[in-house]
Structure 1
Amino acid sequence: MRYSTLLSLLATFTAGALASDVIDLTGGTFKSEVNGEDLALVEFFAPWCGHCKNLAPHYEEAATELKSKLGVKLAKVDCTEEAELCKEFGVNGYPTLKVFRNGVPTDYAGPRKADGIISYMVKQSLPAVSEVTPSSHDEFIKQDKVVLVAYGDESHPVPAAFAEYANSARDTYLFGQYLDSSLPSIPESPSLPAIVLYKQFDEGHNVLSTSEVSSLTADSLAEFIKSNSMPLVDEISPENFGDYAERGLPIAYVFAEPDDTATREQFIEEIKPIVKEFKDKVSFVTIDAVRFVDHGKGLALPGEDWPAFVIQELAEQSKYPLDTKFSAKNVEAHLRAYVDGKLSPKIKSEPIPKTQDQPVYHLTADGWDALFGDDSKDVFAEFFAPWCGHCKKLAPVWEELGEKYQNSKNVVIAQMDATLNDIPPTAPFKVAGFPTLKFRPAGSSDFEDYMGGRTLEDLIEFVEANKKSEGPLSTEEAVEERSDEDSAVAGEEEEVVEHDEL
């Protein structure tokens, strides 16, 4: 084969291998590609962004599926090349995804995996309530994991609340109405009007009773869907954690080794009766104990003995680990005690130091009242995580700050490792990002957020301006001793972490 022919074939193969159904947009092509489309999805990204790289294969897969299935365009804009275009659409983080309808954008609020993107855009392509016919019925009820269908006729109209709720929840669920005298086979054959929730898990469907349909409101329909739209027991991960968080229920975790499927499945079968009983009070999930061992430690589990069980209240950031032997019987007893309000949350704490002779006060959960119970002192506290990059940069500066006030009788510079200690329930705040800096003035029970720069100069100026106790420190003297390294952390933003690794 001639060399030129080989090169030609190679070029053709490479072009085919790299072919993409994701359209690359520029300032010059954006309007022509997007504004005339009934529906399109655009990703605004940066090539160096790790989250963008993780999204890329899922976005490609979704683009191919949606192009062939619905003719919906998926496109992307490189914000390092098209800064003005990204600014026009208010992009301030990567990746940012926006849904466009005839050129008008709205924020994309769906998942970042291929099947989730496809499901979300399918819903966007349909009216809030789709018309379902005898020929389309069987296919329609299988189009998503959860599908709601209302059945009625001229004598038994579908309640107006069905469309009302569908308009507000169209991004989450698929809604249809079947208005035909020739009804398909409906589970449990309820009287008309009827509403059935079809799902691709557990028993496969749930039927709203005739009496409930007759008095249906948007709120009662929302409660019915909330109660039945999640699997009785599912594996939780970063991909579906948001669904559980939005549900608003406490989460009961079974931490199990991923390879021990037999033990896990046997346990799930044993515990299903109690799960069904409490499904409206607690979300029951399994979780990979190896992959999410740090999340388990954050929930006061030892991190070495599996399987293990713990209940977490997200809003209160409280946890209730099972301290007895793991078994279906003990888990059921623990769940019942929790639902009945007979359990106290576990407060994780390091041991209280025997002495506090270091420049920075070592704050622990058990030692909280010993420090903050004395309101004669001004307290400036940092809450950190050892793995947090911004915390590591701040560490030497915080140590120097402690040294500046080490001889002060009324100003305390404190520090708490928030991965080893819980913020007590009595505290008037929760920690959602690292580092979090809080200042409690003398004579007050209020905590002020520190949002300023993180040089030694900035921190000292803040303390001097806000402290209420006597015995000032010379700010000028402290500023003169400021090291060059201090300026390196100025303007750093918080490293936000929600719900540990999930």
Structure 2
Amino acid sequence: MHSDSACGARTPEPLPPRKLASNSKLNVRTQPVLPLPVANKLFKMRWWLCLFGIATIFATASVQATKIPTVVLELNDKFADVMNEGLWFVKFYAPWCAHCKRLAPVWDHLGHALADINSPVRVGKVDCTRFMNVASQLRINAYPTIIFFRNGIQIPYEGERKKEAMLDFIAKSSGPVVAPLETAVRFSELRKTGDKDPFFVYIDDTVADGSAKQGESDLFTEFEKTAEQLFTESRFVRATSMKVFPTSVVVPNRPAVVVFKDGGHYVYDATKYPNLTKWINAERWPLLPQATPNNIASISETGKLLVFVISDLLDRSNLTDPIGQFYKIAKEAAILVRQHPELVDDFQFAWLDGPTIANSIIMGSMPNPDIMVFNHSSYEYYLSPDSPSKSNSHSIVTFLQMIKDGNIHPQGGRAWSQRIKRMFYDVTTNVYDMFRHQPILTVCLFGVPIAFFSIITYSIFSADFSVDREEIYPDDEDEDYDSEGEQPIDDGKDEDKSTRRRRTRKGSGHGTGSEASLVGSDDDEGGDSESDHEKAE
């Protein structure tokens, strides 16, 4: 006999798994056993996911570790105490401003570029949502606003939001108003950029002892006064000798003011232009500059009509393209106008990168390439009668001569009809641009308010405002008052009258059957009321 039987215990036989699962009263869910190849694939996938997560963590850590520290100073309200000391180039921004966000990386690159050349100009930024005192003191009402502070003088920057344009602005704003021109090397450096950035030179005429003549002093005073107004946009230098210039530069009389641009030089003629400031303002633009929304107003300060050549930044130098061919023709016409004694003082050429600005002026569509003449002061424009494919340099000059003679009538203007038309054009154009660039955001911006007001309008016009008399005068509030305004004693007769009034109102909206039921109920109510009176007596 076995030991387990001696103890009185019997080992139960194991049941099959299926039978145990079927006979068990517990609702136990067993996970299915995956085949071995599938399990191996899942194990490899989990392994690769773990490796990917670890690599992502290390990559994020390496990016944060290699992030270049910024040299842009975070300024606060205390900047108002030091803004008049030294040179500052400060951006006033708001964190929610989209233009400020696009400018942020350019601003950091600008700070590093100035730090690399050890510039004395300090670059900073002010969050106007946090430090409102300095923003209100400087009257900041638009974001971003960029201001250059030069020893207490505030110079707003309204140029392009590009690093190269801002570096050029800083170089002009931080330097002397009238810089000395002492060597031929320095003149060669200035001459390299003269085609895009004209510069003005005041040439001294000194006597043997080095003292200045009286005539020279008066001319230089006017020259320096003009330089103080335009030194952030143009360069002004002073030469004490003709040795710094090449032999091709001939100045008949000294002292003199000379402008170098477009590969040549032009001497100021006081007999033809009595106002030196007006002459400098007219000559500070090259032969064919690029017109942008930021500098159109500055170009129009010359007092000339603007000849816009609609072109393209990339295709204007491609002579095999129609845009490049027309740009070459327009440049030749600009040279002819420069040599024309009657047209040079009336027209200033400029080229546009695309027809966007021209479309805004005419409130329509302009082809590319094409040419138009624009008067910024009156907002009138002239369109050429010749197609671009049939135009040449002489036909463009003839077109300008016809405008000067008054043979072509202007279009547009600032009349009320044009202003209303421009208002609708600007609204539709802005909405179209919003839908084209941010369709989802624009749908949310306009769809939510429209849906909200539509629901309100529908609710107002579909609501039923008819009110039943019973809602205004409930049955339990029907009481009679005597002539003296006192409530009478409630007796059976008064109760009968009120009951009769209720029966009359209720019976008016029911059929014959309901009327019979109401009569029966009234009889019962009358009997009850009589019995109540008998008991009272």
TM range (shorter): 0.5 to 0.7
Residue ranges of structure 2 left out of the alignment (5+ in a row)? 1-50, 316-321, 432-456, 461-537
Q: What is the CA–CA distance in structure 2 between the aligned matches of 1:284 and 1:105, rounded to whole Å?
A: 33
Q: Which residues of 2 match residues 168-317 of structure 1 at below 5 A?
A: 168-180=229-241, 182-185=243-246, 187-191=248-252, 192-199=254-261, 202-203=262-263, 205-208=264-267, 212=269, 220-256=275-311, 259=315, 260-276=322-338, 277=340, 278-292=343-357, 294-295=359-360, 297-298=362-363, 303=365, 305-317=367-379
Q: What is the CA–CA distance in structure 2 between the aligned matches of 1:293 and 1:90, rounded to whole Å?
A: 33
Deviation at 1:56, TM superposition (A): 3.2
Q: Which residues of 2 match residues 75-154 of structure 1 at below 5 A?
A: 75-102=124-151, 104=152, 106-113=154-161, 114-134=163-183, 136-139=186-189, 145-154=197-206
Q: Which residues of 2 match residues 401-420 of structure 1 at below 5 A?
A: none
Q: What is the CA–CA distance in structure 2 between the aligned matches of 1:268 and 1:115, rounded to whole Å?
A: 27
Q: What is the CA–CA distance in structure 2 between the aligned matches of 1:41 and 1:388, rounded to whole Å?
A: 35
Question: Structure 1 residues 389 and 91 mapped into 2: Cα distance closer, same or farther (>3 Å)?
Answer: farther
Per the normalisation by structure 1, the TM-score is: 0.59
Question: Is the 8 Å Cα contact of residues 77 and 131 (structure 2) preserved in structure 1?
Answer: yes
Indicate the residue corresponding to 1:333 in structure 2. 398
Indicate the residue corresponding to 1:39 in structure 2. 87
Match of 1:282, as an amino acid? F
Structure (1 or 2) with the larger CA radius of gyration: 2
Indicate the residue corresponding to 1:60 in structure 2. 108
Q: What is the CA–CA distance in structure 1 between the aligned matches of 2:300 and 2:348, rounded to whole Å?
A: 10
Question: Is the 8 Å Cα contact of residues 46 and 95 (structure 1) preserved in structure 2?
Answer: yes
Q: Structure 1 stretch 319-328 or stretch 263-272: which is displaced more? A: 263-272
Question: Is the 8 Å Cα contact of residues 355 and 367 (structure 2) preserved in structure 1?
Answer: no
Deviation at 1:235, TM superposition (A): 3.4
Instruction: Note the alpha carbon deviations across 1:336-393, whole angstroms, 9 max, x for none.
Output: 1101122212359xxxxxxxxxxxxxx967xx9xxxxxxxxxxxx897325528999x
Match of 1:268, as an amino acid? A
Question: Is the 8 Å Cα contact of residues 92 and 127 (structure 2) preserved in structure 1?
Answer: yes
Instruction: Note the alpha carbon deviations across 1:178-233, whole angstroms, 9 max, x for none.
Output: 2258544264232443433233xx22x32315xx37x799x633333334322222
Question: Is the 8 Å Cα contact of residues 77 and 134 (structure 2) preserved in structure 1?
Answer: yes
Alignment length (residue pairs): 354
Per the normalisation by structure 2, the TM-score is: 0.56
Instruction: Note the alpha carbon deviations across 1:242-283, whole angstroms, 9 max, x for none.
Output: 332333321122334664443223322542454322232112
Question: Structure 1 residues 91 and 132 mapped into 2: Cα distance closer, same or farther (>3 Å)?
Answer: same
Indicate the residue corresponding to 1:20 in structure 2. 70
Question: Structure 1 residues 127 and 233 mapped into 2: Cα distance closer, same or farther (>3 Å)?
Answer: closer
Deviation at 1:118, TM superposition (A): 1.9
Secondary structure of the structure 1 residue equivalent to 2:275: helix
Question: Is the 8 Å Cα contact of residues 312 and 353 (structure 2) preserved in structure 1?
Answer: yes
Q: What is the CA–CA distance in structure 2 between the aligned matches of 1:44 and 1:256, rounded to whole Å?
A: 34
Deviation at 1:45, TM superposition (A): 0.5
Secondary structure of the structure 1 residue equivalent to 2:301: helix
**Identity score, percent:** 21
Match of 1:116, as an amino acid? A
Question: Structure 1 residues 335 and 125 mapped into 2: Cα distance closer, same or farther (>3 Å)?
Answer: same
Q: Which residues of 2 match residues 458-497 of structure 1 at below 5 A?
A: none
Instruction: Note the alpha carbon deviations across 1:447-476, whole angstroms, 9 max, x for none.
Output: xxxxxxxxxxxxxxxxxxxxxxxxxxxxxx
Task: Pick one of 427, 430, 433 that aligns with 1:388.
Answer: 427
Q: What is the CA–CA distance in structure 1 between the aligned matches of 2:299 and 2:323, rounded to whole Å?
A: 23
Q: Which has the higher helix share?
A: 2
Q: What is the CA–CA distance in structure 2 between the aligned matches of 1:19 and 1:92, rounded to whole Å?
A: 30
Secondary structure of the structure 2 residue equivalent to 1:235: coil
Deviation at 1:39, TM superposition (A): 0.7
Question: Is the 8 Å Cα contact of residues 251 and 282 (structure 1) preserved in structure 2?
Answer: yes
Task: Pick one of 100, 123, 144 that aligns with 1:74.
Answer: 123
Indicate the residue corresponding to 1:395 in structure 2. none
Secondary structure of the structure 2 residue equivalent to 1:188: coil
Question: Is the 8 Å Cα contact of residues 385 and 391 (structure 1) preserved in structure 2?
Answer: no
Question: Structure 1 residues 243 and 136 mapped into 2: Cα distance closer, same or farther (>3 Å)?
Answer: same
Task: Pick one of 50, 56, 70 that aligns with 2:98.
Answer: 50
Residue ranges of structure 1 left out of the alignment (5+ in a row)? 349-362, 369-380, 393-480, 485-502
Question: Is the 8 Å Cα contact of residues 198 and 206 (structure 1) preserved in structure 2?
Answer: yes
Question: Structure 1 residues 8 and 246 mapped into 2: Cα distance closer, same or farther (>3 Å)?
Answer: farther
Match of 1:164, as an amino acid? K
Deviation at 1:129, TM superposition (A): 1.2
Question: Is the 8 Å Cα contact of residues 110 and 120 (structure 1) preserved in structure 2?
Answer: no
Q: Which residues of 2 match residues 371-386 of structure 1 at below 5 A?
A: 384-386=423-425
